[in-house]
Structure 1
Amino acid sequence: MAAFPALLLLFVAVVSGQIQITPREAVRQVGESLDVLCKVNYPISFCRVEIGRESYTIPSNSPAPGDPTYYGRGLQEGECGAHITNIKEAWNGDVYCSVPQQIGSREIKQSMKLIVARPPGNPELIVSPPQNELKEGETIRAICRVPRGRPAANITWHLGDEEILNGLKPPVVSNSSEPGLEDVTQELNKVLTADDDRKQLACRVSHLGLNRPLEARRQLDVQYPPRRADGNSDEQITIFGLKIQEDGRLNVTVRSNPEPTVEWKVSDVTLVPGHPNSHPNENSVWTALHPLRLPQDEVHGSGYYNVTLVLSPVTSEDVERNYFLALSNKHGEKRLMVKLSTLEQPAAQASILRLNVYGMELEAGAIVGIVVGVLILLLAVFLVVFAKATDRWCFAGSPPLDGDSEAPLPPHDDVKGAENPTHDHEYIGNGNTKKPDTPV
């Protein structure tokens, strides 16, 4: 029985020795402040706080200048807190608070984790395969490594103006070569397209200790075979609006990286840029121009070229011919057949039809929608008028449009053709009179 009071005393001591600490973890920059609060459920006689290698006994009155000041409602409420000002990098680690036990003379303590932010080093971006071997359809492997941060830095990926959200592996955090700091590495795998060519692949780093993000960039040089600029796989192109006896330019916009080699064939004549060729009947001259690279902007991405054949002048025979254009680079070739027309370009093939209404420009789809809506409205009005005039559908049994709406219905005996005047009701619907069967 003597052991029971001792066990009870130990249980009370354990329960009364629990300390609640807030917060459990905090991230701060050098020079910032932090409030830490420890609380027990009984009055305490002192409050001790350990920060880094320094220990402070904090009274609830007149603290020494420069020391952490007391934070809380008072020792009598069981609160031991510290308002820490001007955080130092050396304070990174655990912060302890100590209070006396409710029973006994020993101290009990609790800790929270203080992370003093330290900005990371410059990021490193590694892309494979090498820059001069990137091809459309292949997968690149890009690795971004950010060294020596506390806590580990955050990484986001961008291609041009767009953020990359797919193809990312989870970031891997590891201990840095410098104690107390962390490195973070993330890998990106992406299938290349022609639209990725000449765009900047960026690994962007953000961190609490940075005033602005850090970046590592790599411009992608994605190579691909020639193709039509509009992405159409059709091998025939018609050029409209040429005029007989005037100079004509057969202009075809293509896309290619690297620059395509150009060769035109007309009848039995082969035309290459820089070498004018006489027309077979010597009435005009055909000249193939070197591909003209279009500037890269929001409309034109990269790798767009104008490929042009000049006819000086256009003859009636020229309009009847077929012109064959061969484009090639080291990744493949594309062959197109070009036809000529003196007609204006059809509306279906011209730029999108537009209509200006009171200063608003409407495209073809909007115009068609408005026309269809008006037709549906007119049809609905016609059906309502028709139903009202003929006493049909939802207007069945209503007075006619031009009749006296208050005239009473004739008695049943006055209805012509009534076969059974003894019945006092009839069934009327859709303008037809239906009488129930009468037993004989």
Structure 2
Amino acid sequence: QNVDITPREAVRRIGDELSVLCKVPYPIDSCRMTVGTTSYRLIPDNLQGDVVYAGQGLKAGECGALIKNIKEEWNGNITCVLPPPSGSIELVGTMRLLVARAPGVPILNSPQQPSFMDGDKFVAQCVVPNGRPAAKITWFLGSEELLHGVHQPVVTSEPGSDLQTISQNVSRTLTDEDDAKKLVCRAEHEALEKPMEVTRQLHVQYPPKRQESGPITIFGLKLGAEGRLNVTVRANPKPNAEWSVGDQVLIAPRQAGEITALEPLLLGNGYYNVTLILARITKEDVDRTYYLRVDNGLGREEFAVRISTMDEPAGVELDTGAIVGIVVAVLILLVAVFLAVFAFATDRWCFAGRSHRTDIPDGADSEAPLPPHDDIKGSENPSHDHGDYISNGDTKHPEKKPDTAV
């Protein structure tokens, strides 16, 4: 006979409560439960103490306990002892209680170099020591959880200790998008009020990268007014800027006459604003193409920039109602085409009578002409003139009768 015990395993913090139920399919007259090193005789009417009876009664075969104010020393097995249905050998059921113990501070192991290059392989390890049970590790890069490149965790413990240390690796090919982001190892545990974190700021160097392809046109400038040619570029480290205006080459920062090339301005997250100022725009300026070259030692990017006194063309934007209308119209068109094809194939509706089929007796000439329409429909047309016919050779002509005087 087996004892049904629930739960089989539980994790509780110090001071929490736990309900354990042992059950057999026959009435019992006694119930004992061992918690830690102490054996408790549980009586349904005695509800005093930290371990008291809980259940539907001994007659229902239930030996349950409500364990209050869990203590550190209660970590381990909890055993219930019930009398057998016959004989003298008592029945025993056992469950495992893990009294949660908070782990130590997480440790982040990673390469010691201060910065990395675009395309470098990066490996880091997070270790959360001495928890009961093992902590749970979650990786983040910036505000996004890392799901790819996360290895299986490894749980170890010292001989003779039930405390567990968990470690987990993460590997990643770094890109410019990873620059200035924080790599976060977050440790969660039942004994912690809030997660613990350890972080490392990533610094990734990469050549200048343009934000849009092809030539750049700056709209909305006015003749006779100041004009600013702004180009946004992403780079780390900071790029140098060189403008070519006709025969002039301006390495920022520099001013030549009415043209000023400003030093690249950091906008944040590796974005720089590269600006050329024209003090007074002329028609010649509008007709000219300006060339910008940015270089930070890791690579270079070149831009062709033009200016326009016209307003920037508005993009075609459709609201939700217009999109729904287009979809409905397309569906109606498809249904109409389907119905037309169906009617044509089955000689229905406006295609009825498109062809005529006549049953031809076996052995008849399949190329014989169809009978005249009047011969087919004559019996159905009461207004048809059935006059006498005069035979002339093979042709019959209706005989005209003389008018009769009245």
Q: In which range does the TM-score fall when normalised by the shorter chain?
A: 0.7 to 0.9
- Tell me if 1:193 matches 2:193: no
Shift of 1:354: 4.2
Q: Secondary structure at the match of 1:90?
A: helix
**1:96 pairs with 79, 104, 116, which one?**
79
What is the CA–CA distance in structure 2 between the aligned matches of 1:33 and 1:309, rounded to whole Å? 71
1:340 matched to which residue of 2? 307
**2:92 pairs with 99, 109, 116, which one?**
109
Shift of 1:114: 0.6
**1:321 pairs with 276, 284, 288, which one?**
288
Change (3 A) 1:354 1:74: closer
Range moving further from structure 2, 189-198 or 41-50 = 41-50
What is the CA–CA distance in structure 2 between the aligned matches of 1:393 and 1:248, rounded to whole Å? 70
Q: 1:251-330 maps to which residues of 2 (within 5 A)?
A: 251-278=230-257, 285-295=258-268, 302-330=269-297
2:162 matched to which residue of 1? 180
What is the CA–CA distance in structure 2 between the aligned matches of 1:333 and 1:288, rounded to whole Å? 18
Shift of 1:369: 6.9
What is the CA–CA distance in structure 1 between the aligned matches of 2:55 and 2:330, rounded to whole Å? 76
What is the CA–CA distance in structure 1 between the aligned matches of 2:334 and 2:156, rounded to whole Å? 73
Q: Deviations over 1:160-209 (max 9, x none)?
A: 22222221111111115993221111111122232222222222222222
Write the letter of the residue equivalent to 1:272: I
- Tell me if 1:238 matches 2:217: yes
Change (3 A) 1:417 1:105: closer
Shift of 1:155: 1.7
**1:418 pairs with 361, 374, 378, which one?**
374
Shift of 1:119: 2.3
Matched-pair contact (CA < 8 Å) for 1:160–1:199: yes
Matched-pair contact (CA < 8 Å) for 1:129–1:140: no
Write the letter of the residue equivalent to 1:258: P
What is the CA–CA distance in structure 2 between the aligned matches of 1:202 and 1:111, rounded to whole Å? 40
Change (3 A) 1:244 1:151: same
What is the CA–CA distance in structure 2 between the aligned matches of 1:119 and 1:35, rounded to whole Å? 23
Matched-pair contact (CA < 8 Å) for 1:72–1:81: yes
Change (3 A) 1:253 1:67: closer
Matched-pair contact (CA < 8 Å) for 2:179–2:202: yes
- Tell me if 1:21 matches 2:25: no
What is the CA–CA distance in structure 1 between the aligned matches of 2:377 and 2:188, rounded to whole Å? 96
Matched-pair contact (CA < 8 Å) for 2:233–2:273: yes
Change (3 A) 1:270 1:33: same
What is the CA–CA distance in structure 1 between the aligned matches of 2:282 and 2:267, rounded to whole Å? 30
Change (3 A) 1:42 1:376: closer
Matched-pair contact (CA < 8 Å) for 1:117–1:151: yes
What is the CA–CA distance in structure 1 between the aligned matches of 2:263 and 2:68, rounded to whole Å? 70
Q: Deviations over 1:97-153 (max 9, x none)?
A: 1234445444442211011122222222233363x3222222321222212222111
- Tell me if 1:37 matches 2:16: no
Write the letter of the residue equivalent to 2:374: A
What is the CA–CA distance in structure 2 between the aligned matches of 1:369 and 1:325, rounded to whole Å? 44
Shift of 1:260: 0.7
Change (3 A) 1:393 1:197: farther
Q: Deviations over 1:356-411 (max 9, x none)?
A: xxxxxx38xx7577468669869999xx9xxxxxxx9635679xxxxxxxxxxxxx
Write the letter of the residue equivalent to 2:256: N
What is the CA–CA distance in structure 1 between the aligned matches of 2:202 and 2:245, rounded to whole Å? 38
Write the letter of the residue equivalent to 2:240: T
TM-score by length of structure 2 reads 0.76
Q: Secondary structure at the match of 1:418?
A: helix
1:359 matched to which residue of 2? none
What is the CA–CA distance in structure 2 between the aligned matches of 1:287 and 1:252, rounded to whole Å? 14
Change (3 A) 1:90 1:374: same
Change (3 A) 1:238 1:29: same
Q: Deviations over 1:40-80 (max 9, x none)?
A: 344444322111111212233335x3241122333344432
1:13 matched to which residue of 2? none
1:156 matched to which residue of 2? 138
Unaligned runs of 5+ in 1: 1-15, 279-284, 296-301, 356-361, 385-391, 399-415, 426-440
What is the CA–CA distance in structure 2 between the aligned matches of 1:25 and 1:56, rounded to whole Å? 20
Matched-pair contact (CA < 8 Å) for 1:56–1:67: no
What is the CA–CA distance in structure 1 between the aligned matches of 2:271 and 2:136, rounded to whole Å? 37
Write the letter of the residue equivalent to 1:290: E
Q: Secondary structure at the match of 2:224?
A: coil
Q: Secondary structure at the match of 1:208?
A: coil
Matched-pair contact (CA < 8 Å) for 1:118–1:150: yes
Matched-pair contact (CA < 8 Å) for 1:148–1:176: no
What is the CA–CA distance in structure 2 between the aligned matches of 1:372 and 1:33, rounded to whole Å? 60
Change (3 A) 1:213 1:424: farther
Matched-pair contact (CA < 8 Å) for 2:115–2:202: no
Shift of 1:19: 2.3
What is the CA–CA distance in structure 2 between the aligned matches of 1:74 and 1:417, rounded to whole Å? 101
Range moving further from structure 2, 118-127 or 147-156 = 118-127
What is the CA–CA distance in structure 2 between the aligned matches of 1:139 and 1:179, rounded to whole Å? 37
Change (3 A) 1:423 1:209: farther
